[in-house]
Amino acid sequence: MKKWLGSTLVLATAASMLAACGGNNSNSGAASPSESGSAAASPSAKASAPASSVELTLWANTKDESEFDKSLRNEFMALHPNIKLNVIDKSGDTNTEYAIAYAAGVAPDVIDISGPMFKKYIQKGYFAPLDDFIASWPEKDKHTDVFKEIGIKDGTTYGLVTFLGPMMFGYNKALFSQANLQPPKTWDEMIADAVKLTDRSKNQYGYSMLANDWLDWFFQFYVWQAGGDLTTVKDDGTIELQFTSPAVVKALELYKDLKWKDQVVQSDITLDFNGMVQEFATGKSAMMIFAPDWVPMVASLGMKVEDLGIIPMPVGPSGQPVTSTGVALTAITGNISKEKQQAAWEWIAYRYGRDAITKKLQDQEKKGIVPPQIMIYKDMKQSDIVTLDPAWEEALNEGVSTGRDEYEGKAVLTKYVVAAVQKVLVDKNADIKAELQKQQDLAQKEAVDKYNADVLAGK
Amino acid sequence: MQMKRWIRPWLFIAPALLSITLLKYYPIAQAFFMSLHEYDLVHPPGRFVGFGNYKSLLDIGFFWTSWRNTFVYLVLTLVLAFIPPIIQAVFLNEIKRFGRLFRSIYILPVVIPLSVTVILWKWIWHPDYGLANMITRYVGLGTHSWLNDLHLAKFALIFPGFLGGGIAVFIYLAAIQGIPEEIFEAATLDGAGKWRQLLRITLPNISFVIAIQLIFTVIGVLQILDLPFQMTHGGPVNSTSSVALGIYEYAEKNMDYGAATASSFMLMFVILLITVVQLLLSKEDTN
Instruction: Answer yes or no: do A270 and B231 touch at CB < 8 A.
Output: yes
Q: What percent of chain A has pLDDT over 90?
A: 64
The ranges of chain B with pLDDT < 70 are 1-3, 285-287
B260 chain-A contacts, CB cut-off 8 A: 21
A269 chain-B contacts, CB cut-off 8 A: 148, 235-236
Measured in whole angstroms, the distance separating CA B204 from the mean position of its chain's CA atoms is 23
Instruction: Answer yes or no: do B255 and A442 touch at CB < 8 A.
Output: no
Q: What is the mean pLDDT of residues A349-378?
A: 92
pLDDT at A231: 97
DSSP β-ladder status, A152-153 and A83-89: unpaired
Residue of chain B nearest A99, judged by CA positions = B41
CA distance A114 to chain B (A): 14
Instruction: Answer yes or no: do B244 and A415 touch at CB < 8 A.
Output: no
pLDDT at A48: 53
Adjacent-strand bridge partners of A328: A114, A163
Instruction: Answer yes or no: do B223 and A268 touch at CB < 8 A.
Output: no
Residue of chain B nearest A11, judged by CA positions = B272
Measured N-to-C along each axis, helices B131-138 and B114-124 cross at an angle, to the nearest 10 degrees, of 40
Residues B203, B196 contacting (CB under 8 angstroms): no
Q: What is the mean pLDDT of residues A314-325?
A: 92
Q: How would residue A340 be classed by pLDDT, with cut points 50, 70 and 90?
A: very high
Adjacent-strand bridge partners of A243: none
Q: How many CB pairs under 8 A join A and B?
A: 133
B24 chain-A contacts, CB cut-off 8 A: 15
Residues A344, A109 contacting (CB under 8 angstroms): yes
Of B31, B271, B286, the CB nearest to A21: B31
User: Using omega within 30 degrees of 0 as the cis cutoff, is the peptide bond preceding A43 cis?
Assistant: no
Q: Measured between alpha carbons, how far is residue A92 from residues A19, A24, A59, A330, B116 in Å?
A: 19, 7, 11, 18, 19
Instruction: Answer yes or no: do A18 and B28 touch at CB < 8 A.
Output: yes
pLDDT exceeds cutoff 60 at A2 = no
Q: Of A452, A416, B268, give the one whose Cα is nearest residue B260.
A: B268
- Cα(B220)–Cα(B158) distance, rounded to whole angstroms? 13
Q: Of A325, A285, A232, A328, give the one whose Cα is nearest residue A32.
A: A328
- Cα(B67)–Cα(B63) distance, rounded to whole angstroms? 6
| A342 HSE (CA, 13 A, CB side) | 18
The residue type found at B171 is I
Instruction: Answer yes or no: do B41 and A103 touch at CB < 8 A.
Output: yes
Measured in whole angstroms, the distance separating CA A403 from the mean position of its chain's CA atoms is 13
Of A6, A20, A422, the CB nearest to B279: A6
- Cα(A132)–Cα(A138) distance, rounded to whole angstroms? 12
A17 chain-B contacts, CB cut-off 8 A: 28, 223, 264, 267-268, 271
DSSP B129: T
pLDDT at A282: 96
Q: Measured between alpha carbons, how far is residue B141 from residues B133, B138, B163 in Å?
A: 9, 8, 20
CA distance B192 to chain A (A): 31
Q: How would residue A430 be classed by pLDDT, with cut points 50, 70 and 90?
A: very high
- Cα(A323)–Cα(B160) distance, rounded to whole angstroms? 42
Instruction: Answer yes or no: do A268 and B148 touch at CB < 8 A.
Output: yes
Higher pLDDT, A230 or A93: A230
Q: How would residue A49 be classed by pLDDT, with cut points 50, 70 and 90?
A: low
B40 chain-A contacts, CB cut-off 8 A: 124
- Cα(B28)–Cα(A18) distance, rounded to whole angstroms? 7
B237 chain-A contacts, CB cut-off 8 A: 419, 422-423, 426
Tell me the torsion sign for CA atoms B59, B60, B63, B69.
positive
Q: Which of A230-234, A324-328, B8-12 has the highest mean pLDDT?
A: A230-234
CA distance B268 to chain A (A): 6
Round the CA-based radius of gyration of chain A to a whole number and report it: 24
Instruction: Answer yes or no: do A426 and B237 touch at CB < 8 A.
Output: yes
Range with lowest mean pLDDT among A8-12, A164-168, A260-264, B174-178: A8-12
- Number of helices (H) and strands (E), helices first, in chain B? 16, 2
Residue of chain B nearest A334, judged by CA positions = B42
Instruction: Answer yes or no: do A20 and B225 touch at CB < 8 A.
Output: yes
A116-130: buried (b, 16+ CB within 10 Å) or exposed (e) per residue?
bbbbbbbebebbbeb
- Cα(B8)–Cα(A309) distance, rounded to whole angstroms? 74
pLDDT at A389: 87
Residues A352, A140 contacting (CB under 8 angstroms): no
| A285 HSE (CA, 13 A, CB side) | 25
Q: SS3 helix, strand, coil % of chain A, rounded to 5? A: 50, 15, 35
- Cα(B242)–Cα(B222) distance, rounded to whole angstroms? 8
DSSP A261: I
pLDDT exceeds cutoff 80 at A44 = no
CA distance B43 to chain A (A): 9
Residue of chain B nearest A420, judged by CA positions = B237
H or E element in which residue A240 lies: strand A239-241
- Cα(B249)–Cα(B236) distance, rounded to whole angstroms? 16
Instruction: Answer yes or no: do B271 and A15 touch at CB < 8 A.
Output: no
pLDDT exceeds cutoff 50 at A26 = no
Instruction: Answer yes or no: do A13 and B255 touch at CB < 8 A.
Output: no
Residues A238, A443 contacting (CB under 8 angstroms): no
pLDDT exceeds cutoff 90 at A16 = no
Residues B49, B38 contacting (CB under 8 angstroms): yes
Strand arrangement of the beta sheet that strand A205-207 belongs to: A205-207, A285-290, A168-172, A308-311
Of A14, A103, A200, the CB nearest to B268: A14
pLDDT at A116: 84
Measured in whole angstroms, the distance separating CA B189 from the mean position of its chain's CA atoms is 41
H or E element in which residue B154 lies: helix B153-158
H or E element in which residue A157 lies: strand A156-157
CA distance A113 to chain B (A): 14
Instruction: Answer yes or no: do A18 and B275 touch at CB < 8 A.
Output: no
Residue of chain A nearest B278, judged by CA positions = A6
Q: Measured between alpha carbons, how far is residue A30 from residues A39, A69, A307, A407, A435 in Å?
A: 23, 11, 22, 23, 38
Instruction: Answer yes or no: do B264 and A102 touch at CB < 8 A.
Output: no
Residues A232, A242 contacting (CB under 8 angstroms): yes
Query: DSSP string covering A361-418, please?
Result: HHHHHHHT-------SBTT--HHHHS---HHHHHHHHHHHHHEEPPPTTHHHHHHHHH
Residue of chain B nearest A450, judged by CA positions = B56
Q: What is the mean pLDDT of residues A140-166?
A: 93
pLDDT at A97: 85
3-state secondary structure (DSSP) of residue A235: coil
Residue of chain B nearest A15, judged by CA positions = B24
pLDDT at B20: 95
Higher pLDDT, A188 or A164: A188
pLDDT exceeds cutoff 50 at A24 = no
CA distance A371 to chain B (A): 29
Q: How would residue A3 be classed by pLDDT, with cut points 50, 70 and 90?
A: very low
Task: Report ipTM (2 d.p.).
Answer: 0.86
A268 chain-B contacts, CB cut-off 8 A: 122, 126-128, 147-148
CA distance A407 to chain B (A): 17
- Cα(A94)–Cα(B163) distance, rounded to whole angstroms? 38
Instruction: Answer yes or no: do A415 and B264 touch at CB < 8 A.
Output: no
Of B43, B236, B254, the CB nearest to A269: B236
How many CB atoms sit inside 10 A of residue B42's CB?
15
DSSP β-ladder status, A323-332 and A403-404: parallel
- Cα(A311)–Cα(B236) distance, rounded to whole angstroms? 31
pLDDT at A51: 64
Q: Of A50, A100, A91, give the one whose Cα is nearest residue A345.
A: A50
A104 chain-B contacts, CB cut-off 8 A: none
Q: How would residue A19 be classed by pLDDT, with cut points 50, 70 and 90?
A: very low
pLDDT exceeds cutoff 50 at A38 = no
Range with lowest mean pLDDT among A259-263, A320-324, B132-136: A320-324
